[in-house]
Structure 1
Amino acid sequence: MLGVVLTVVAVAACVISSIFVFSTHGYLPATRSFDPTWWSALGFFTGIAAAVMLCWRHKWPELVVAIALVPPLCFRSDALAALIALAALAARRRDRLLWTGSVLVYLATAWALFGDANRHPDVTVAGQIVGKQFSAVQVMGTLTVAVVMTAVPLTVGVVRGMQDKLAVREAKEEELRAEMTRRAERTRIAREMHDVLGHRLSLLSLQAGALEVTKGPATSEAAKTVRTTARQSLEDLRQVIGVLRDGQGFAGNGENGPHPEPPQPTLADIPELVANARRAGLGVNVTILLDDAGGAPALLGSTAYRIVQEAMTNILKHAPGAAAEVSVRGGPGNGLVVEVVNPLPATVTAGKPPGAGTGLTGIGERVGLIGGNVSAGPTEERTFAVRAWLPWGHH
């Protein structure tokens, strides 16, 4: 809105200035020295056209400057339109064309001032008598005023151009930050899908395999575990799809109002996680020694839970039937140590379980987010160990 107002004011000022200049030169009716000629008419309408062209000075600054230079250089008009157009050119460009245009606008301004100043024996510039016609004082004064008049719009245009570039840069940075946020959200979703669904579907796969070779009462219990695990996996999948669909996390709106974000697992949920693994046929020995487990930060608890979950998922995939040792120890001020160790398989299974190997990468990302460290790999004792240390500050 402000730009429109400024444009209207600029056009009106240039039109009024052109009318005033051509009136004082006797080129318009209702003046005592009216002397109409085709040249004077062409000059007047050229000045009006230059004023109207200011409406497009930001879109085509080079063309508008060129048109605005015609009245002062060819028809003894003023250079107001050229000065206004110069500001738009300076906001757009910083090359040789700008400096060429600045010199031409300066010359047009000086020429217009000379024409105005030398119409009377007493030379006046901006209402002040600066000397006689074509005197040294008159020439220096006119050139100095022309420099000032040219420098003002040039400076304003340069400053505005810098502000526009800064605004564009800030907009690009904001867009980049938004893209990074979206990528982080996609990474988080992928990590949650891998950690949550990967573990439960691994249990499901193991139980399904057991059903193929088991007969008797145990079959019923295994089938029950498969059914429960499948139901939980479908519920988790529904929640993750909700995240992908509405882009608002687990708190997005559903048909019946907002869905609250499901609670994240804590240190207290690790025993149940181990119990589920045992029911799936994994031999697990667990040791949990914690000080003030109930006061552990939520992010610390969920990270430790996911580490144990991912480690046992890998055991089910790559070393089925192996026993695992799970140890969770620590307290405020000392940090939390999580260890999951299992014997390496004697032979490599022919059919490699599905998976892209992103689980351990996800563990590293989770641990890094809270300032911890993690290592995973085979040991000299022919075991595979996942060891992580997580910071646990005082309250």
Structure 2
Amino acid sequence: MTTRPPREERDPDRLTWWDTTWRVGAALLLGLFVWTLTAVMTFPSPQEELPDTFRTFWLVLVDPVIGLVATGLMILRRRWPVPIAVVTTLLTGVSVFAAGAQSIVLVSLATRRRWREIVPVTALSVLVSLVNTRVVYPEREPLPLWVEAVLTALIIIVNVAIGYAIGSRRALVASWVDRARSAEAEQSARVAQAQTAERSRIAREMHDVLAHRISLVTMHSGLLTYRPDLPEGERREAIAAIDTNARAALTDLREVLGVLRDEDGSGSLRPQHTLRDLPELLDDARAAGTRVTLDDGGVDLSAVPESTGRTAYRVVQEGLTNARKHAPGAAVTVTLSGRPGDVLRVEVVNPRAVGSQPAVPGSGLGLLGLAERVELAGGEMSHGWDTRDQHRLVVSLPWAT
């Protein structure tokens, strides 16, 4: 089953059956009018002598037939515009009834706005019209040749001007349609880009949050595995920490998946952590057994802008997660420094792991995602091992006043 496309979505240059029907009707009416006018001027009054038999036979029987043929050819004018224009113009030399079809074809040709086609056909039309009025149906008292040529040229030029105006209007409408389609395509591309960017942001949030939670779960579970001699109290604390962080990870995962499945985009993530939540993050890390030292450098955590504070919080969180993964049991030092109007510097330092404790598997995307986040915030990031065998994660973020 096929459905008809909406009218505004159809090709504006494609003719419907009604467009073709009224054009054929107009050609027939115009041809009939010219034929009637010629018959009145050709046949004299009863008191005058009749024209020769051949011219009478031609006008009454042959001329309308040729006009109908020209009208049929007119339907093909869009497929072969120049050949049809030339043929119908030549037919008007022996048939005044064909003038209606030739006028429609000439107007159609002019809508193409190609002067290399319009000028020769226009000149041919003037010449053929003079042949018709001077040879086929000569008048008893003809006008001077130059006057008749000028009048004929003016009539044909009017047809050309009408067709040229119609072509200009069609080109303008086509440009509007193209512009609307381009704008719609660009809008769709922007929406898709925004959706992709939002999903990338959610994926980064999911990695930051879940990696932190899972690293805590892994640390406690590893502690239970490799320390069977733990006192009962510490064992229960480890189990409670595993349960708490596992439930929190599931809650965060449900929230993120809920946003991803939201079709209308009305869902959103809960407010993200900033530097104001840094003490809570460090307390969780200490509760998990990580030795963390904070040197805030006199920075007022509540004075840091929210966007900068979110990125700085993620830097510390990623640093703690990487320390638990790759250097379990090592002490971590977090240092903050900077002032408004300059930069906020965040540094997370940890030595190599002591002993042969099991390492937590990582995705390898944490620092890559963090680098993208820092770059989007307009900051700079560096990380690696220094000469004192310490891993340093250093980030500088712009601190607006």
- C-alpha distance in structure 2 between counterparts of 1:65 and 1:245, whole Å: 58
Residue by residue over 1:301-323, the C-alpha shift from the partner in whole angstroms, topping out at 9 and shown as x without a partner, is 11111111111111111111111
Match of 1:224 among 240, 261, 274: 240
Q: Tell me what 2:283 maps to.
A: 275
Q: Name the structure where strand makes up a greater proportion of residues.
A: 1
Amino acid at match of 2:248: Q
| Distance change in 2, residues 1:88/1:10 (3 Å) | farther
- Counterpart AA for 2:104: A
Distance in structure 2 (CA, Å) of the matches to 1:207 and 1:286: 23
| Aligned counterparts of 2:176 and 2:144: Cα–Cα separation in 1 | 42
Cα gap change, 1:140 to 1:69, in 2 (>3 Å): closer
Is 1:311–2:311 an aligned residue pair? Answer: no
- SS class of match (1:381): coil
> Which stretch shifts more, 324-333 or 236-245?
324-333
TM-score w.r.t. length of structure 2: 0.73
Distance of aligned partners of 1:21 and 1:135 in 2 relative to their CA distance in 1, 3 Å threshold:
closer
Asked which structure has the greater CA Rg, the reply is 2
| Residue matched to 2:99 | 77
Residue 237 of structure 1 pairs with residue 253 of structure 2: yes
Residue 37 of structure 2 corresponds to residue 15 of structure 1 = no
Q: Deviations over 1:132-191 (max 9, x none)?
A: 259886798688778756654555555555555544444443343333223212321221
Q: Secondary structure at the match of 2:99?
A: coil
Residue matched to 2:389: 382
Q: In the aligned structure 2, how far is the partner of 1:152 from the partner of 1:346?
A: 87
Distance, in Å, in 2 between the alignment partners of 1:342 and 1:110 is 92
- Residue 368 of structure 1 corresponds to which residue in structure 2? 375
CA contact (8 A) 1:204 1:229 kept: yes
> Alpha carbons of 1:335 and 1:83: their partners in 2 closer, same or farther (altered >3 Å)?
farther
**CA displacement at 1:222 relative to structure 2:** 0.7
Q: Does 1:189 align with 2:199?
A: no
Distance 1:382 1:351, change over 3 A: closer
Q: 1:80 to 1:246 in 2, by over 3 A?
A: farther
Please tell me whether the aligned partners of residues 15 and 48 of structure 1 are also in contact (alpha carbons under 8 angstroms). no
CA distance in 1, matches of 2:39, 2:133: 22
C-alpha separation in 2, matches of 1:135 and 1:87: 23
Distance 1:265 1:134, change over 3 A: same
Distance (Å, rounded) in 1 between the aligned partners of 2:107 and 2:154: 22
Counterpart code for 1:209: G
- Could you say if the C-alpha distance between residues 203 and 9 of structure 1 is closer, same or farther in structure 2, counting changes exceeding 3 Å? same
**Pair 1:202–1:32, CA change in 2 (3 A):** farther
Identity %: 32
Give 1:47's aligned residue.
71
For residues 49 and 119 of structure 1, the distance between their equivalents in structure 2, rounded to whole angstroms, comes to 20
The structure showing larger relative contact order (alpha-carbon pairs under 8 Å, at least 6 residues apart) is: 2
Counterpart check, 1:178 vs 2:185: no
| Aligned-partner SS, 1:320 | coil
| Alignment match, 1:93 | none
Call closer, same or farther: CA 1:110–1:87 in 2, change over 3 Å.
closer
Report the Cα offset of residue 108 of structure 1. 3.8
Q: Summarize the Cα distance change of 1:219–1:28 in structure 2 as closer, same or farther, 3 Å threshold.
A: farther
Query: What's the secondary structure of 1:262's corresponding residue?
Result: coil
Q: Deviations over 1:315-373 (max 9, x none)?
A: 11111111111112333223211110111347898877131x21112111211222111
1:279: Cα distance to partner? 1.4
Give the 3 Å change call, closer, same or farther, for CA 16–44 of structure 1 in structure 2: same
Across the aligned residues of Structure 1 and Structure 2, the Cα RMSD in angstroms comes to: 4.1
1:95 maps to which residue?
Answer: none
Report the residue type matching 2:387 in the other structure.
E
Q: The residue matched to 1:37 in structure 2 has which SS?
A: helix
The alignment partner of 2:296 has SS state of: strand
Asked whether the 8 Å contact 2:31–2:99 carries over to 1, the reply is yes
Q: Which segments of 5 or more consecutive residues in structure 2 lack a partner in the other structure? A: 1-6, 44-55, 93-97, 135-141
Shift of the alpha carbon at 1:281? 1.7
- Measured in 2, the distance between the counterparts of 1:130 and 1:243 equals 85
- The answer on whether the counterparts of 1:336 and 1:390 sit within 8 Å (CA) in structure 2 is yes
**Deviation at residue 193 of structure 1 after TM alignment:** 1.4
Which 5+ residue runs of structure 1 have no aligned equivalent?
55-60, 91-98, 122-128, 253-259
Distance (whole Å) between structure 2 residues aligned to residue 344 and residue 247 of structure 1: 46
Per the TM alignment, residue 224 of structure 1 is displaced from its structure 2 partner at its CA by 0.7
CA contact (8 A) 1:110 1:143 kept: no
How many residues align? The count is 360
Q: What is the CA-CA distance between 1:205 and the residue it aligns to?
A: 1.1
Q: Which of 27-36 and 199-208 deviates more?
A: 27-36
- Provide the C-alpha distance between the structure 1 equivalents of 2:251 and 2:296, rounded to a whole number of angstroms: 29
TM-score normalized by the length of structure 1: 0.74
Describe the shift of the 1:153–1:192 C-alpha distance in structure 2 as closer, same or farther (beyond 3 A).
same
User: Take 1:63 and 1:145, find their aligned partners in 2: how far apart are those partners?
Assistant: 23
Bigger shift: residues 9-18 or 364-373 = 9-18
Are the equivalent residues in 2 in contact too, given 1:87–1:156 (CA < 8 A)? no
2 CA distance for matches of 1:294 and 1:65?
79
Whole-angstrom CA distance in 2 between matches of 1:329 and 1:40: 99
Pairing partner for 2:214 from 201, 211, 221:
201
Pair 9,266 (structure 1): closer, same or farther in 2 beyond 3 Å = same
2:222 partner SS: helix
- C-alpha distance in 2 between matches for 1:217 and 1:12: 96
